[in-house]
A and B are shown apart, each in its own frame.
Chain A
Amino acid sequence: MPRKTVQKQKTGGLMRDRAQPVLEVTNLKTIFRTRGGEVHAVNSVSFDLKPGELLGVVGESGSGKSVTMMSLIGLLPSPPAEVREGRVMFDGLDLLKCTPAQLRAVRGPGVGFIFQDPMTSLNPVFTVGYQLREPLIKHMGMTKAQAQVRAKELLDLVGIPDAAQRLRDYPHQFSGGMRQRVMIAIALACDPKVLIADEPTTALDVTIQAQILELVKDLRQKLGMAIVWITHDLGVIAGIADRVMVMYGGQIAEQGPVKEVFARPRHPYTRALLQTVPSVRGERADKLNVIEGQPPILRAAPTACPFRDRCTTRFETCDRANPARSPVGPGHDAACFWDFDASAPRTDALIKEAAHG
């Protein structure tokens, strides 16, 4: 995978050029064994994350965003999940090879996780305070009283009013937006180096979403952690991310700095995705653009481009090989055989290799 520097950006302001990545994922493969056979949910995914960076991950539902992230710290139920191969380096430790105890030590202080659905991700029978204190006591070696104080600070941090009182409440007594904030507080409890946020705002409505986005910007400034932000909403990515990663069919289709990717998308899927979204401002299109067809069923590791059935620029090579990612700009790479600038198949090494192989 090409290691190129990312252009410095204004947002966040904590970019460190040439810094060692905190998280480095190489060639990750995850499958599910089901009655109907194997499902190859994640196929040879590689990416890295630098300290203080916010990586946006977008992609269609089922493209493997959540599974990829959960594979990293072994949160998938096994069976049916199985991480076939790959390497996940975090802090000099290969998370896929380490012992369960080592892994547990990473979860929390190393990697914090905010799950997709705040409604079900909190344990309904414990108070919010209890759930917040748990990782503090376990990982930070705090006493219950200390943890209580810290828990209150955390709730204050995520902007829940009257925090001391609300620690005694149960999750169902919180509104959806507040629950999501509690989830964030739990994930932040041990000051993780990396925060993985899996669609933290999808279930919320816009005004609450706006509140949370503000909060995250704020926190990033204050705590300086690296964040992976999964979402469907390109608008959100545009607002907060430094870099974006587009996933399709269990693979990374395109990856690059946000402005680059939004301005010059180099994968037909990214292009299509950007075109489907209507806007509240500006011109109103008469008809929405759609991506025709269905996402692929991942019964086996793909041998051809997974997007080919829905692609507008498909040609015969697409049926023959699965395009590897190749650089298309500074810090920007895409997995496609088509050259959009030239409106013709690419001519570089990538396509040659594929044409032969």
Chain B
Amino acid sequence: MTETTATFRPPRNQWWDVWDQFKTHKGALVGLTIFVIIIAGILIGPWLWDMAPTYVDLRARNKGFSMAHPLGTDQLGRDILARMMAGGKVSLSVGLTAMGLAIFLGTTIGVLAGYFRRLEGPLMRMTDLFLALPLLPLLLLMVTLFREPLSKSFGPEGGIFLLIVTAIGATSWMQTARIVRGEVLALKEREFVLAARSIGTPAHRMVLRHILPNVMSPIMVSATLGIASAIITESALSFLGLGFPPDFPTWGRLLFDAVDQIQLYPMRVVLPGVAISLTVLSVNYIGDGLRDALDPRIRGR
């Protein structure tokens, strides 16, 4: 038998292993680098380039690239660089949180539906219901009911942020729920779940410890796609008056506003478009890497 006196390490935080594996995934590293650059640009950028994104300068309308305005100005003379940075902050935080919420809801509902037989029928019918609900009236209703109470308790921006995030999250979890449910149904029959049951693990810990970690990979895919749609949906929401105050830039809105003028000022369309695509791509690759890294079977190889 093996030596028991050999030196040994105490259990090490498994996130180190994850990171070690993650580092070996080239795409993921590139993705992470780009993502970090984007985040840094958004967070640190405004310190270096401290022009207010909402500052209207009517003498400098529709300017091209210049020293004063590296990315030019828009039709009201607002600095596009500053707007891109401010917009990124909003878009990314909305995208990430809304995606987080959608994933949370979808996963919860999917897991409950998959794990508890009795809940499956009602929950899946509810999923159908949400898929069928007309989005626009639902969103408008949400604004009507919650805009004021929320902005009262969290300030106008915080309140609207919450509202947007909930609105997007609450209307985009269905796909995830469906996928997760399918996976859970299969996982439930696996023997290690039975093994945990023989130990007396109660249902909630069973789900947290044994089911959830094993449905990470489809969740990760949904998450990647979720960010993209959340960023786009946010811009759609502002056309319902549900978005942030109208002078508040977001990537989605910058893109939409510029589309009409695409012939005159193509760069104004390209910039936010590229920003969104880059974010989505980098998140996608990070997701790929993370999925591999989180799977100890792949990690060990």
Contact = CB atoms under 8 A, between A and B. Distances in A.
B301 A36 contact: yes
B261 to A, nearest CB: 49
A35 B1 contact: no
Interface string A29-73: 000001110000000000000000000000000000000000000
A292 interface: yes
Nearest to A39: B301
Interface string B1-35: 10000000000000000000000100000000000
Nearest to B24: A35
B301 A34 contact: yes
Nearest to A292: B1
Contacts of B300: 36
Nearest to A290: B1
Contacts of A292: 1
A62 to B, nearest CB: 15
Interface size for chain A: under 10, 10 to 19, 20 to 34, or 35 or more residues?
under 10
Interface in B260-301: 300-301
A50 B237 CA distance: 77
B107 to A, nearest CB: 29
Contacts of A36: 300-301
A68 B1 CA distance: 30
Contacts of A35: 24, 301
Interface string B29-58: 000000000000000000000000000000
A35 B1 CA distance: 29
Contacts of A34: 301
A49 B271 CA distance: 69
A329 B24 CA distance: 52
B131 to A, nearest CB: 29
Contacts of B24: 35
A336 B300 CA distance: 33
Most chain B CB within a 10 A radius of its CB, from A34, A35, A36, A292: A35
Nearest to B298: A35
Nearest to A37: B301
Interface string B119-135: 00000000000000000
A292 B3 CA distance: 12
A34 B1 CA distance: 29
A35 B21 CA distance: 10
A321 B300 CA distance: 30
A36 B24 CA distance: 11
Contacts of B301: 34-36
6 contacts: A34-B301, A35-B24, A35-B301, A36-B300, A36-B301, A292-B1
Interface of A: 34-36, 292
Interface of B: 1, 24, 300-301
